[in-house]
Amino acid sequence: MNAGPRPHGNTFGPAWSIFVSMKPVLAALLLSTATLAAAAIAEEPAMGTAPAGATPVSVASQAIDQRMEAYEQFKTLFDTARFEEALPFAQRVVELSETHPEHDAELPVAYNNLGATQYQLSDYQAAEASYGKSLALLEESQGISSRRMIAPLAGLGAVYAATDQHALAVQQYDRALAVSRRSEGLFNLAQLPLIKKVAASYFALSDYGGVERNYLYALRIAEQNYGYDDPRTIPATMELAVFYESLKQFVSARGLYLHVRDISMKESGGFNPLVIRSLIAIGRTHRLQYTMQPESLEYQRLPTDQIPGQIVGKVYSDSRVPEATERAGLKSILQALELLRAVADPPRPLLAEALVELGDWYQATSRANTATPFYAEASNIFAADMDSGKGNPLLVPRMVFYRPPLASTRSTDNVTGTVVVRETLFSFVVSETGDTQDLTVVTTDMSEGQLAQSRRAVERAVYSPRFEDGKPVATDGVQFTSKWYEQLKAEAPSTTS
C-alpha cells in the first residue's frame, strides 16, 4: 500500500506556468511534472487533457489535426487497456510529432507514451529504446534537472525491474527521485509511488539497508505532510512493518503495528478493518518470535537440543511460550476475532485470516484440540468463498513450529572461513493433529551426528494439518529440507624451504 500522490484534478500547480504560452494543441499533449511522474509509475500514458475551461482554437495545420486525432484514439484505447490496438496510434503520434516544427516540446511525450504502451505489451527492448529517446530529447532541450524527466526515468526503471536488471532500475529510480526532490521539494507526496518501486528493486538485490532507508523516508514524508498520528500515514507505516517482519525483526515490526492499531482505534465510525489487520499482525509477530527466536524472549529456557531424550516428546514442557508473550499475542488475536464477530456481516477473508492465526497460535503451542475448531471454521469459509481454493492455507500442511538444531546455524554467526551448506531431505506423514510421523531420509550429505540432530528437530516440528470437508486429515509424502551450515577450517599456508 502507499499513500499516493496528492490529488491534482485540474490544478496543475507551478508547473502549469511553462505551458501558458503554448498553443492549445501542445497544452493538450503535455502534463504537469507531478502527473507525468504518477502516470509513468503506474505505466499509464504521459499525455493528458487541457485544463477545464480552456477555449478551443481553430488549427490551420492538417498535420496537427491528424496528430490530435491519433492521440485521442491512442488515449481512449490505452485507458481501456487495449494496448495492442493503442500501439499503432502511439507510433503514429511519434511519426507526426517528429515532422512538426515544434517537435522538441512534443516529441519526448510522444516517445514516453510509446514506451508505456510497449511496456504494457512486455516488449521491454522497444520500451527501453522509446524511454531512452524521450530522456535524451529532454536532457538536450530541458537540462538534466527538468521535472519532465521523471516520467521517462521512472519508465526505464520499470523496464529494468521487469527484466530483473534491478541494479539498473535502482539507478533510474534514484535519479528520478533526485529530480523530484529538487523540483518539488524533499517531502513532496508525488514521490511515494517511486519510493515503493525503488524499494522493491533494492529488496530484489538483497540490499535491505536500501529498502529500509527508502521506507523510512516514505514514512517521514507522510508524517511531514499529514502529522504523526494521521490515518494517512498508515500505508507507509504498514509497508515498513511488513518489511521488518519479512526480515524476522519482530520487535521492530510489532512496534509499528501497535502504532497502526492506536491510530486506527482513534477513528470513529464503527467497524475498522485496519484495527483488525493490525491486531492480527501483533499476535502473529509474538507467535513468530516465540517460534523462531526464543532466545529473544524475556524468559529463557534450556535449548531443546540439551533436554534429556527420555523427556522429549511431542508435548514437552520447555516448549511452552512465556506467559507474558502468550498473554499479549493471544489477547491481540482474540480481540480481533471478538471485533469481527460483533458485526453482522464481517469481511469473510479477514475473519478467515483471524481464525487461521488463532489456530496457528494454539497449534504452535501443542494444543491441537483447541486449534482444530478455529481451523475448521476457516476451512469452511475458504471452501464457500473460493472456487479454485486459491489462497486457502489449509489445503496443505503448513509448518507452524520448528526450531533447527542450535549447532546447525552456529557457523553463520562468526564466519572466518568457507561455509558449506549440508542438506537432508526428509519425507514424512503429517497426522490429523499436525504431528510428524514415519520420518524417512530421502537424500543427505550430513554426518551421522548432524543427521541425528536434524531428525530430532523435524520430529518435534508441528504442522497445521490439511483440511477436507471441514475436517483435519493425515497427509503423507510431506517433505522438508533441513540445512546445516558447516564452517570449514582454513588451510594453513604452505611454506617452502
pTM surpassing 0.75? yes
The three cell numbers locating residue 104? 522538441
Tell me the torsion sign for CA atoms 57, 63, 65, 69. negative
Estimate the share of the chain in helix, then strand, then coil, as percent rounded to the nearest 5.
60, 10, 30
| Local confidence pLDDT in tens for the 497 residues of the chain | 444 333 333 332 323 232 223 333 322 333 333 333 333 433 334 443 333 343 444 443 566 678 889 999 999 999 999 999 999 999 999 998 888 766 667 899 999 999 999 999 999 999 999 999 999 999 988 887 789 999 999 999 999 999 999 999 999 999 999 999 999 999 999 999 999 999 999 999 999 999 999 999 999 999 999 999 999 999 999 999 999 999 999 999 999 999 999 999 987 667 899 999 999 999 999 999 999 888 777 544 434 333 333 323 333 334 456 677 788 899 999 999 999 999 999 999 999 999 999 999 999 999 999 999 999 999 999 988 766 556 899 999 999 999 999 899 886 666 566 889 999 999 999 999 999 999 999 999 999 999 999 999 999 999 999 999 999 999 999 999 999 998 877 665 666 55
Tell me the torsion sign for CA atoms 208, 211, 215, 217. positive
**Which of left, alpha, beta for 289 (phi over 0: left; psi -120 to 50: alpha)?**
alpha
Fold of the CATH domain 13-245: 1.25.40
Reply yes or no on domain 406-488 having CATH 3.40.50.720: no
**Which pLDDT does position 327 carry in this prediction?**
84
**Which pLDDT does position 48 carry in this prediction?**
34
Query: Of 12, 15, 104, whose CA–CA distance to 50 is shortest?
Result: 12
**Cα–Cα dist 161/31, whole Å:** 25
**Which pLDDT does position 496 carry in this prediction?**
59
Count of CA atoms in the C-beta half-sphere (13 A) of 397 = 26
* CA angle (324, 329, 311) in 5-degree steps: 65
Task: Give the start-to-end residue ranges of the domains of the chain.
Answer: 13-245, 273-395, 406-488
**Amino acid type, 471:** K
The three cell numbers locating residue 167? 541494479
